[in-house]
Chains A and B, each alone.
Chain A
Amino acid sequence: MALSRLSSRSNGITRPLSAAFSRFLSADTTPITIETSLPFTAHLCDPPSRSVESSSQELLTFFRTMALMRRMEIAADSLYKAKLIRGFCHLYDGQEAVAIGMEAAITKKDAIITAYRDHCIFLGRGGSLHEVFSELMGRQAGCSKGKGGSMHFYKKESSFYGGHGIVGAQVPLGCGIAFAQKYSKDEAVTFALYGDGAANQGQLFEALNISALWDLPAILVCENNHYGMGTAEWRAAKSSSYYKRGDYVPGLKVDGMDAFAVKQACKFAKEHALKNGPIILEMDTYRYHGHSMSDPGSTYRTRDEISGVRQERDPIERIKKLVLSHDLATEKELKDMEKEIRKEVDDAIAKAKDCPMPEPSELFTNVYAKGFGTESFGPDRKEVKAALP
């Protein structure tokens, strides 16, 4: 029921739910219909309706999880500045609605694959805060045992395929996963996420061609935050209608700051892909931070623009307004929830900081899979042993 759904979403967050919040769970499951803020723009297909079915639980869950994601990213920002996270750290704050909306429309059998801005999607797929912070700080308890880092989060059991550093390369991988789903008759789809910058990669079009040719259940999602690192989309792409770029492949343009629009679009896309093959979704979204922590984010856009988007289109504010207008919680309760989330994140960080670094022997593990019984030996092996499966 609602409780199990909530705990599955916040998997690994071991704190008991606050009294204030658990009150809502016993609240009614009455459905609420919400209108998306903007209509969908469609290419070669009929856009879905603007009315989205939801419920009070879902609204509150959306709020809580998005606030958690936001808090996590801000905390990662401070950790990076404290030099506990090194290398590259790409933050997702501002774009949470895409992760949340997508999760609400699909199951854990459907696969998601994305590039390096993957912290929140990992969380949405069932990852825990502890795993996130441990991996970011390179500790043993991280989801990739500390060997992957910020750009390499994976969760096989929830069909989250990462986490890739080279943008664009994940789209053929995603189409391959869709191919495997079709091959094994899984009735599941794959969402391959990429940005407006990566949308200009040739391999996307190659993969799209094959997916359309072979009718693969692949959904290509362009998270258009209008900047490819420092290059605005109008300076990188002749045509910035990314949803139309599929040409013969249908597309849908969605307001990516509205979690319900994303949910509706993903549901629509899943149904479409299972029947008709690939579809492109363009999520019109925005990131508040720069491209990564080494990018201030203000050299190629004005601070007014950032604060303007934050005031008018912030996804969490939107949900907050909906929650308040439907009388699902009071301002104070929401503030308490946020305080609780803050504490949760701080606890997870403290726990991750205590976690040890990987053992030196871990340097050499997982380079090869020791399958099939044969092992590679150095100069002093005595016998070659093989087990035939």
Chain B
Amino acid sequence: MSAIIHGAGAATALSTFNPVDSKKLAAPCRTNLPARSKRYIVAGSDASKSFGSGLRASHSQKLIANAVATKTDTSATTGTGHELLLFEALQEGLEEEMDRDPHVCVMGEDVGHYGGSYKVTKGLADKFGDLRVLDTPICENAFTGMGIGAAMTGLRPVIEGMNMGFLLLAFNQISNNCGMLHYTSGGQFTIPVVIRGPGGVGRQLGAEHSQRLESYFQSIPGIQMVACSTPYNAKGLMKAAIRSENPVILFEHVLLYNLKEKIPDEEYICNLEEAEMVRPGEHITILTYSRMRYHVMQAAKTLVNKGYDPEVIDIRSLKPFDLYTIGNSVKKTHRVLIVEECMRTGGIGASLTAAINENFHDYLDAPVMCLSSQDVPTPYAGTLEEWTVVQPAQIVTAVEQLCQ
């Protein structure tokens, strides 16, 4: 089955791929693994083609008047694609990977017979059995540890935290064992786990169920963190995370599970370390991820009406940052606004601000501005909850302020 990587960037990405004749991959030590053929895909990051001196010319020809990028170019390759919701996309990705590799298993609370609290694992237990889709008791510390122990021997567990906040109980396992074992064993063990779950501020779920764990995990060396935001990248990132030899934490958002989108029929994966260009622009770079992407796009509509041309990048890769895409954007627009859902103190935005200042200081015309959630536990009352997270109106004000 041919698989395609779509480079970041909805508008211009054109992946050229050179399929190499199938090369048998040496199967790992477990028995009964079917040999897989290897295909090489080289996807140039779109920045390599479109940025540089030819930029102005090419861009003025393709001036994008609408706020939301059209998806017509991406599914131009084959087929008609099919429409589904984000949680179905995650399920599709998971199911395809479980079909493909018998080492992939899922463990978590209520993932099996119940079908998953957000239906991401629905139907998988019936298809793959109880040994591959494991209902665990409520013991995050232990089952995360068990997943990591199983990964040390070569299995590829996908560990689900029913809510990301519950994974705080497994922090020791994630930090010390998951992140560090590859290093402390001198490379002997790899930990190919995927830790996933919904996080973020939902609809009045209360303080303990509205946590943003990406800020707590971002310092752990040895792990990768990605955040999905659309059905397309949810499926792609899920597949890439499962295939990766490194531990990957996949952050989903409670409020995004019902997003509908048309995704390609053919198999594809997304690059774990790459950011996604949502809307190319000229005046200001807006960096965002997960749910805030939609607040930004809503603000972008208003901004376009007011005459601004924001460039919106969904950073997707929270650790490591895709400084290449981000840097090229900064070099173009010279102004950066970061919109995130993490709290102000020690969040992803804080690290990103530091990284941009360190690396691209000379290209900035204005200080990097970071809009984050308030440093408070998320209140229950609806109006208060609304004010903890960044709203589109605030984004518009911030852009206007930065672009003076």
Contacts and interface: CB of A to CB of B under 8 A. Distances in A.
Q: Do A and B come from one complex?
A: yes
Given A174-B149, A177-B153, A379-B327, A366 B186 contact: yes
Given A181-B153, A388-B38, A172 B137 contact: no
A195 interface: no
Given A209-B139, A368-B246, A377-B324, A148 B269 contact: no
Given A166-B176, A209-B139, A379 B359 contact: yes
A203 B149 contact: no
Given A144-B188, A388-B38, A172 B273 contact: no
A164 B189 CA distance: 13
Contacts of A368: 182, 222, 224, 246
Given A210-B137, A369-B246, A384-B44, A145 B187 contact: yes
Interface string A157-175: 0000111111001011111
B245 A372 contact: yes
**Majority secondary structure, A binding face:** loop
B271 interface: yes
Contact of B173 (A148, A172, A379, A383): A172
Interface string A120-164: 000000000000000000000011111111001011100001111
Nearest to A384: B45
A313 B193 CA distance: 45
B93 interface: no
Interface in A358-377: 365-377
B152 A173 contact: yes
B183 A366 contact: yes
Interface in A336-389: 365-389
Contact of A371 (B143, B246, B323): B246
Given A164-B177, A386-B5, A386-B271, A367 B149 contact: no
Contact of A203 (B142, B184, B224, B327): B142
Interface string B126-144: 0000010010110101111
B149 A177 contact: yes
Contact of A369 (B48, B144, B182, B274): B182
A243 interface: no
A325 interface: no
Interface residues of A, number: 67
A378 B5 CA distance: 20
Interface in A172-208: 172-177, 179-184, 202-203, 206-207
A333 to B, nearest CB: 39
A248 to B, nearest CB: 14
A179 B103 CA distance: 12
Contacts of B320: 376
Interface string B153-173: 111000000000000000011
B188 A379 contact: no
B149 A388 contact: no
A299 to B, nearest CB: 29
A48 B367 CA distance: 74
Contacts of B324: 377-381
Contacts of A144: 184-186, 188
A204 to B, nearest CB: 8
B149 A161 contact: yes
A143 B189 CA distance: 12
Interface residues of B, number: 70
B402 interface: no
Contact of A210 (B39, B142, B151): B142
A147 B142 contact: no
Given A368-B222, A368-B246, A176 B190 contact: no
A213 interface: yes
A389 B38 contact: yes
A206 B141 contact: yes
A16 to B, nearest CB: 29
Contact of A384 (B145, B146, B271): B271
B398 interface: no
A164 B323 CA distance: 34
Contact of B185 (A154, A184, A206, A207): A154
Interface string B29-72: 01100001011111111001000000000000000000000000
Nearest to B185: A154
A388 B39 contact: yes
Given A203-B145, A374-B244, A384-B43, 18 more contacts: A162-B181, A162-B185, A163-B184, A172-B146, A172-B173, A173-B173, A175-B146, A176-B145, A183-B105, A210-B139, A365-B187, A366-B183, A366-B187, A369-B245, A369-B246, A372-B243, A376-B320, A382-B48
Interface of A: 111, 113, 142-149, 152, 154-156, 161-166, 169, 171-177, 179-184, 202-203, 206-207, 209-210, 213-214, 365-389
7 closest A-B pairs by beta carbon, nearest first, are: A176-B149, A172-B145, A371-B245, A206-B142, A206-B139, A176-B146, A173-B149
Interface of B: 3, 5, 7, 25, 30-31, 36, 38-45, 48, 105, 131, 134, 136-137, 139, 141-155, 172-173, 176-177, 181-190, 192, 221-222, 224, 240, 243-246, 269, 271-274, 320, 323-324, 327, 359
11 contacts: A169-B176, A173-B152, A176-B148, A210-B139, A372-B240, A372-B245, A374-B272, A384-B7, A385-B42, A386-B5, A386-B271
